[in-house]
Structures are given as C-alpha cells and as structure tokens.
C-alpha cells in the first residue's frame, strides 16, 4: 500500500511538471527535456558500463546534448536547418577519437554511442518540434499537440495495465515481457482511441476520426517502445534503468513508450499539416 501511494504521488508530480512546462513556455520544455535527455544518457551509460562496456557518461552526455540542442534550438527558431549539417562531422569525429583510445571492441563502443543518440537524444529533441507546432491557420505554437501526445501515451499504458489485470490471459510477447497480454493491449487501444476521439471533438484540431487514427498509431508504437526497452533491460540483466523516480524507476523507464512513439507522431503530424 505504501509503495502504491509513493508511486502515485511520484507519478502525479511527474505529470504535473511535464504538462506545466508545456503550457507555460516552449523554453521550459527545452530546458526540462534537456535535463531528461542528460539523465537518460547517464542511465544508458551506466547500464552498459555495469556489463563491461566502455561507455563513459560525460562524453556520451556531451554528444547527446549537442544533438538535442541542435534539434531543440531549431524548433524554437534560434538556429536554421543548416545547423543539422554539424551532426555529420560530429558523428565522424567519434571514429577519429576511437583511434586514440585503447579498446578491445572499438566499433561496438562507437555503435552504442550512436545508438544512444538515435534512441534517446533525437526523440527528446523531437518533443520540442511538437511543442512549437502551430494549429491550422495560426502562427502561434499549439501546446495541445504535445499534451495530446502524452495523454495518448499515458492512456495507452494505464488502460493496458488495468485491462491486463482484469482480463489478461494470452501473453503478448512472453519472451520479452511476460506480464503483457493481448487483452490488456486491446483494452488499452480501445480506451485510447475513445480518448483520442473525445480530444478531437472538443479541441477541433483535425477531425475526431483523425485523432482516432493517431491514437491507434500511438498505441502500437508505444507498445513496441515498451517492449524494446524491456528487451534492453533484459539483455543488461537489470529491472530498472535507474531509480530517480520512486516506484517508477528511471527516466528511460518512464519515457520508453514516448521516445519510441514520438518520431511516428511527428511524421504523421507533418503529413497532416
């Protein structure tokens, strides 16, 4: 009971901070997710270091933070798209740096560093793109786009959990996540699509049926995101990526579905724009 209360309070604070930053100002999102990105990179580094990989946290955080800031500053119109060209020599400089460091598996280390950027820093940067998107016929940013995304991801997770507890019998992907069930995933999808329709009806951003399709895509990609992180933790032989959030684990544990789903959400929004 005590753990449930702790988990609930920590979750409420987490949600309040994210939604509050989205409503307050795009720069608040830039700063907040910069911190989340740095913590996520630290957790990634620590996971692999515990399993014998030479992935120093400081260098990984610097690399990932640069990529994050390029995307975030571009989203906030502080730099133009030519800044993305800097990422190319930045990545290739890693190959040069590896020549001056003794390592038994240099290319494995390089691959993990690039993986961290693709898996963590780029998705966190994309949150800024969504935060700064405008509604139709408007030059102002529309916070509801990012709020809607997190609402759909959290709804999918919550209702999949509740449906799974109530009706779950058939395992969804037992090799990776023994507790997930088809019944839970279907229940979560149905409720999330209902929430998506309701959001579309009252927000009047796109037709409600469009939001149903967005919700379905979000549920599918968020579920795969959860499974991918479960596979990562299973391969590292750990339960949680970190312990920064009481009862929830680390930043990667909380954002596993969101960071995997956000690239698909951004792609779909640009198609609809």
- Tokens 């979560």 sit on residue: 188
Q: Which two tokens stand for residue 141?
A: 């940013």
SS3 state at 165: helix
Q: Which helix or strand (DSSP H or E) is residue 210 part of?
A: helix 208-236
pLDDT digit string, tens, across residues 99-147: 888 777 888 889 999 999 999 999 999 999 999 987 444 566 789 999 9
pLDDT in tens, 137-179: 456 678 999 999 999 999 998 888 888 888 867 787 777 877 8
- Alpha-carbon distance of 137 to 228, in angstroms, equals 38
Two tokens, residue 2: 């005590």
Q: How buried is residue 166: exposed, middle or buried, by Cβ count under 10 Å (0-12/13-18/19+)? A: exposed
Spell out where the chain has E strands: 171-173, 177-181
What was the pLDDT predicted at 112? 92
What is the pLDDT of the chain when averaged over all its residues? 88
Residue 100's Cβ-count burial label (10 Å; 0-12, 13-18, 19+) is: exposed
Distance in angstroms (rounded) separating the CA atoms of residues 249 and 26: 27
The domain segmentation of the chain, as residue ranges, is: 2-272
pLDDT of residue 137: 45
Read off the pLDDT band of 17 (50, 70, 90): very high
Which whole number is the average pLDDT over 185-201?
94
What SS3 class is residue 24?
helix
For residues 243 and 9, the answer to whether their CB atoms sit within 8 Å is: no
**Which range is least confidently modeled, 78-87, 168-177, 209-218?**
168-177
**Looking at residue 211, what is its pLDDT?**
95
Measured CA to CA, the distance from residue 36 to residue 38 in angstroms comes to: 6
The two three-digit tokens of residue 180, written as one number: 């997930």
Longest Cα–Cα distance of the chain, Å, equals 59
pLDDT tens sequence across 1-15: 556 576 678 778 889
Cα gap 142→152, rounded to integer Å: 17
Residue-wise pLDDT for 226-267, tens only, equals 999 989 888 888 887 877 776 667 899 899 999 999 999 999
Cβ(130)–Cβ(269) below 8 Å: yes
Portion of the chain with pLDDT greater than 90, in percent: 59
Please tell me the distance from the alpha carbon of residue 114 to that of residue 199, in angstroms, as a whole number.
37
Buried b (16+ CB within 10 A) or exposed e, 197-235: bebbeebebbeeeebbbbbbbbbebbbbbbbbbbebbee
Instruction: Give me the helices (H) in 168-207, please.
Output: 182-203
pLDDT band of residue 28 (cuts 50, 70, 90) is: very high
CA gap 117, 121 in Å, rounded: 5
CA-CA distances (angstroms) from residue 224 to 51, 151, 219, 228?
24, 17, 9, 6
Is the pLDDT higher at 42 or at 106? 42
Residue 2 has a pLDDT of 55
């Amino acid at each position: 009971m005590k753990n449930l209360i702790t988990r609930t309070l920590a979750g409420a604070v987490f949600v309040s901070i994210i939604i509050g930053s989205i409503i307050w100002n795009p720069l608040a999102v830039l700063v907040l997710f910069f911190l989340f990105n740095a913590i996520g990179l630290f957790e990634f580094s620590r996971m692999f270091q515990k399993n014998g990989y030479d992935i120093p946290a400081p260098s990984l955080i610097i690399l990932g933070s640069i990529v994050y800031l390029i995307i975030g500053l571009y989203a906030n119109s502080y730099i133009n798209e030519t800044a993305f060209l800097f990422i190319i020599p930045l990545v290739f400089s890693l190959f040069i740096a590896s020549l001056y460091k003794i390592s038994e598996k240099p290319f494995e280390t390089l691959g993990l560093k690039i993986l961290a950027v693709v898996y963590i820093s780029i998705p966190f940067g994309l949150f800024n793109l969504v935060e700064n998107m405008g509604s139709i016929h408007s030059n102002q940013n529309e916070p509801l786009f990012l709020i809607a995304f997190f609402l759909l991801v959290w709804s999918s997770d919550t209702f999949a959990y509740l449906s799974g507890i109530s009706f779950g019998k058939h395992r969804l992907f037992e090799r990776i996540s023994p507790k997930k069930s088809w019944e839970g995933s279907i229940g979560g999808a149905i409720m999330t699509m209902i929430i998506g329709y309701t959001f579309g009806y009252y927000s009047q951003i796109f037709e409600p049926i469009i939001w149903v399709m967005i919700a379905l895509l979000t549920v599918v990609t968020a579920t795969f995101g959860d499974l991918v992180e479960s596979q990562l933790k299973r391969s590292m032989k750990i339960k949680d990526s970190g312990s920064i959030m009481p009862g929830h684990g680390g930043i990667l544990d909380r954002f596993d579905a969101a960071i995997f789903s956000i690239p698909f959400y951004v792609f779909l929004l640009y198609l609809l724009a």
